[in-house]
Amino acid sequence: MSAGSAPLRVVIVNHMHPSVPHVSAMRAWYFACDLAARGHQVVLICEWTTGAPPAPDSERLCGLLRGTNWSHPLVVAVQPRPGALHNRLRSARTPAIVRKALVAWSYLTQSGVFTDFSQAAQPALEQIARVFKPQVVWGVFGNTDCWLIAQRQAHLAGCGWVGDMKDAWDGFVPAGLRTMIARRFTGMTASTANAGFHANVLAHWFPTHPDVVYSGVSRDWIRPVLDSGEDFRVMLVGSTYDLRNLNRLMDALKNWVYGLSPLQRDQVTFGYAGSDSAVVRAAARELAGLVRMDVRSHVPIADLADLCRAAAVNVYLWSPATFHHKVVELLCCQRPVVSFPGERAETLELACKVGGSLNVCRNERDLQEVFRRAWARELKPLGGPEALQSLTWDAQGERLEAVLRRVAEEGATCAH
């Protein structure tokens, strides 16, 4: 918070609870914590998850809103009660054609498919508006129900709301319904996006001029590079998206390894961390007899950062459907990064700005050449802690704070 500025009262809406160990929970929670650290009062509305404290009743919520010291965000986790429609819509046993019909019907009549979440939040919204009196609401798009909640909260509080696009609109809303559903959210006061790619999507569907606020990185990623000794680790991170590209990567890595002597192969480790560990383990079965294997599912952020900072090269599989936040984290490791089979100009410009080493491979031949150059220590990662500070949660949080303050101040001006 800048000197002389009054603290803001902010409501953030995100579907996933902060305790869920998934990237879908990170953006809202990390920025909520950053805003609280800046002296703002922050309420995070999300869905309850197993192991989390139970959702407070109306009386207890009022007490929490009045009694919290606001050194940390107040999490209001609402507990949906799915009905027969929701159960059928989300069940793998429901025939695909029936599920598509249910999805379309839910969008047409309710503007979303997680209506049990948005309906469960309604009582809390009324209490938050009356007691907390938010000045601005930030709704993180993981689904349209997050925006429905943000829209309703802003209406009840008489303030503006900011729509955030961290996932592609086109990938979540059925093609024939996108224009109609988009019209239901044209009242957003301002907007933010996780990348220029998502900002373009927002500007296409909505009458808005988005501010780009990248998801930040923990300082665990920017610590000094770890000495890997004799271990030459090729580290694959994140979702695999397309099995064909995963198999192409494995073939290229296997063919490069074939060119090494048995003694050299003993120094090579293939590592993976992410939700597709079973798929990667199956795709890498031929590689398993040639090099050491270290395939894991989700690991804590600090441990993942250590693995990547000790790698000779970090690899991720690129999908054109989204912006890959993982590249921001990998650039901060100050190790060579490989994207396969492509990347956008925005990401290349970001890497250039912070002095990172991002190597885009279009085919298997490119991959083998990068592995060869990494083995020969010909890839020189650039950058350093100072250059990478612009990618931290703190630096990006300052950008978000500016957007939220602008909306809050515009709302205050209109009220007078």
**Angstrom distance (rounded) from CA 295 to CA 229:** 20
Q: Tens of pLDDT along 155-198?
A: 999 999 999 999 878 888 888 899 999 999 999 999 999 999 99
- Its domain, for residue 323, covers 219-391
Contact criterion met (CB below 8 Å) for 64 and 43: no
Residues 345 and 206 occupy one common structural domain: no
Query: Is residue 2, in this structure, part of any structural domain at all?
Result: no
241 with 167, same domain: the answer is no
Whole-prediction pTM:
0.90
* Res 405: pLDDT: 97
**Same-domain check for residues 369 and 406:** no
CA distance 302 to 352: 25
State the average pLDDT over residues 125-137. Answer: 97
Confidence category of residue 413, pLDDT binned at 50, 70, 90:
low
Picking from 362, 326, 122, the residue whose alpha carbon sits closest to that of residue 238 is 326
| Per-residue confidence (pLDDT) for residue 317, from 0 to 100 | 97
Q: From its phi and psi, is residue 396 left (phi > 0), alpha (psi between -120 and 50) or beta?
A: alpha
For residues 28 and 147, membership in a common domain is answered with yes
Query: pLDDT confidence of 133, banded at 50, 70, 90?
Result: very high
Total Cβ atoms within 10 A of residue 74: 22
pLDDT at 101: 87
What is the DSSP-derived secondary structure letter of residue 355? T
Instruction: Give the CATH number, domain containing residue 204.
Output: 3.40.50.2000
Does residue 360 sit in the same domain as residue 236?
yes
Phi and psi dihedrals of 136, rounded to 5? -160, 150
Distance (Å, rounded) from C-alpha 371 to C-alpha 355? 20
Indicate if 249 and 116 belong to the same structural domain. Answer: no
Residue 4 lies in a domain: no
**Which whole-number Å values give the CA distances from 274 to 277, 298, 310, in the listed order?**
6, 5, 17
> Given pLDDT bands bounded at 50, 70 and 90, which one contains residue 215?
very high
Instruction: Tell whether 26 and 130 lie within a shared domain.
Output: yes
Residues 239 and 191 in one domain: no
Residue 297 and residue 320 in contact, taking contact as beta carbons nearer than 8 Å = no
pLDDT surpassing 80 at residue 266: yes
- Report d(CA 236, CA 104) in Å as an integer: 37
Q: What percent of the chain lies above the pLDDT cut of 90?
A: 67
Domain count, the chain: 2
Give the integer Cα–Cα distance in Å for 13 and 415: 24
pLDDT for 45-97, tens place per residue? Answer: 999 998 888 778 888 999 999 989 999 999 999 999 877 777 787 788 888 88
pLDDT at 42: 98
Assess if residue 162 is contained within a domain.
Answer: yes
Q: How far apart (Å, rounded) are the C-alpha atoms in residues 253 and 239?
A: 18
Instruction: Tell me the pLDDT of the chain averaged across its residues.
Output: 91
Give the phi and the psi of residue 77 in degrees, each rounded to 5.
Answer: -100, 110
What 300-308 contacts at long range (C-beta under 8 Å, 24+ apart), as own/partner pairs, is: 301/218, 301/220, 302/218, 302/220, 304/237, 304/273, 305/218, 305/220, 305/221, 305/223, 305/329, 305/333, 306/220, 306/226, 307/233, 307/235, 307/271, 307/273, 308/221, 308/235, 308/237, 308/333, 308/335
Does a structural domain hold residue 410? yes
Residue 416's pLDDT band, with cuts at 50, 70 and 90, is very low
Which among 323, 383, 327, 374 has a CA at the least distance from the CA of 352?
383
Q: Give CA–CA dist 1/364, Å, rounded.
A: 49
Tell me, yes or no, whether 224 and 146 share the same domain. Answer: no
